[in-house]
């Protein structure tokens, strides 16, 4: 099950309030608010590996 990257809640694809595509990955959100937060700072929430240091 996909996880809302903003609030870390599990979201069923069918029940997702919003979804977005970022760098080829699909993200699902429990609410439009979470999607807005993600789109403001996608790098903060996407599963990009952090550089050590």
Residues that bind Zn ion (CB under 5 A): 4, 6-7, 30, 34
Write the DSSP string, 1-52: --B-TTT--B--GGG-SEEEEETTEEEEESSHHHHHHHHHSHHHHS-PPPPP
Q: Which C-beta is closer to Zn ion: that of 38 or that of 53? A: 38
Nearest distance in Å: CB 34, Zn ion: 3
Q: Which two tokens stand for residue 48?
A: 């990009």
Nearest distance in Å: CB 50, Zn ion: 21
**CB nearer Zn ion, residue 36 or residue 43:** 36
């Amino acid at each position: 099950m996909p996880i809302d990257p903003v609030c870390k809640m599990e979201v069923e694809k069918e029940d997702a309030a919003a979804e977005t595509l970022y760098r080829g990955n699909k993200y699902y959100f429990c609410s439009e608010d979470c999607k807005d937060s993600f789109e403001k700072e996608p790098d903060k929430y996407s599963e990009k590996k952090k550089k050590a240091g």
